[in-house]
């Protein structure tokens, strides 16, 4: 069972629909959308989705009393996948609307793209992810495959080793990160066609 954490931000249903599609082929992809700490701690894996503002996401997680159970799950080695804003929340801090603390699971910062006449913000659409098969999350995903992005901020991990996939948009940024059993993708696998479904399937395999 995968717990999709509901903290009031983010398109949870599209993540669940994608998992359901993966589940047609794989046992262990059952999921629940939940904001219940017990359900989260009882799950085999946790997905932290999310769109919107960083500070509000952190505030909601705290108000719902969910930061503790997420951190505990990570400490216990339970696989966690952060998607888009959910990935950014894994980091130490963000510059979005002032400085705000994140979950601090992966050391690093969240920064805004710098606008220029040739660089539109949000970074929206399909862009390539370069990787070197370093992670179980990217099994069967070709190098330079396209994924769907929609974001104005990007993560800068302190440890270069945490970066397992990168993408170019004005600069090269970390689009896939991993630290132990904690994974993050800046794009939306649930919106990235068959390759996105492959990533979700890989995550389910990691949780099994």
127 scored as a contact of another protein (CB under 8 A): yes
Burial 36-54 (b: 16+ CB within 10 A, else e): ebeebbebebbbbbbeebb
Q: What b/e sequence results for 101-114 when a residue is b if at least 16 CB atoms lie within 10 Å of its CB, and e otherwise? A: ebbebbebbbbebe
Q: Given candidates 32, 37, 64, 197, which one binds another protein under the rule CB under 8 A?
A: 197
Binding of residue 32 to another protein (CB under 8 A) = no
Contact string (CB under 8 A) for another protein, positions 149-168, x = contact: xxxx---------------x
Q: Does 18 bind another protein (CB under 8 A)?
A: yes
- Among 101, 159, 193, 208, contact with another protein (rule: CB under 8 A): 193
Least distance in angstroms from the C-beta of 166 to another protein? 13
192 touching another protein, by CB under 8 A = yes
Is 137 strand, coil or helix? helix
181: left (phi over 0), alpha (psi -120 to 50) or beta: alpha
Contact at 8 Å (CB) between 61 and 50? no
**At which residue do the structure tokens 């998992």 appear?**
19
- Per CB under 8 A, the segment of 46-54, 73-81, 87-95, 173-181 that binds another protein is 46-54
Residue 65 CB, shortest distance to another protein, in Å, is: 22
- Enzyme catalytic residues: 84, 188, 190
């Amino acid at each position: 069972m995968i717990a999709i954490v509901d903290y009031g931000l983010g398109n949870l249903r599209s993540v669940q629909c994608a998992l359901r599609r993966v589940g047609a082929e794989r046992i262990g992809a059952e999921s629940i959308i939940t904001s219940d700490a017990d359900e989260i701690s009882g799950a085999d894996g946790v997905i932290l989705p999310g769109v919107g503002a960083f500070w509000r996401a952190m505030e909601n997680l705290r108000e719902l009393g969910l930061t503790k159970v997420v951190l505990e799950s990570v400490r216990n080695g339970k696989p966690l996948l952060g998607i888009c804003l959910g990935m950014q929340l894994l980091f130490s801090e963000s510059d979005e609307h002032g400085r705000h603390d994140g979950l601090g699971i992966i050391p690093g910062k969240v920064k805004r793209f710098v606008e220029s006449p040739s660089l539109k913000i949000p970074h929206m659409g399909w862009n390539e992810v370069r990787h070197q098969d370093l992670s179980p999350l990217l099994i069967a995903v070709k190098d330079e495959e396209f994924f769907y992005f929609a974001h104005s901020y990007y993560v800068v991990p302190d440890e270069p080793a945490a970066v397992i996939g990168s993408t170019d948009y004005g600069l090269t940024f970390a689009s896939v990160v991993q630290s132990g059993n904690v994974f993050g993708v800046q794009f939306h696998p649930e919106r990235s066609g068959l390759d996105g479904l492959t990533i979700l399937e890989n995550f389910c395999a990691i949780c099994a």
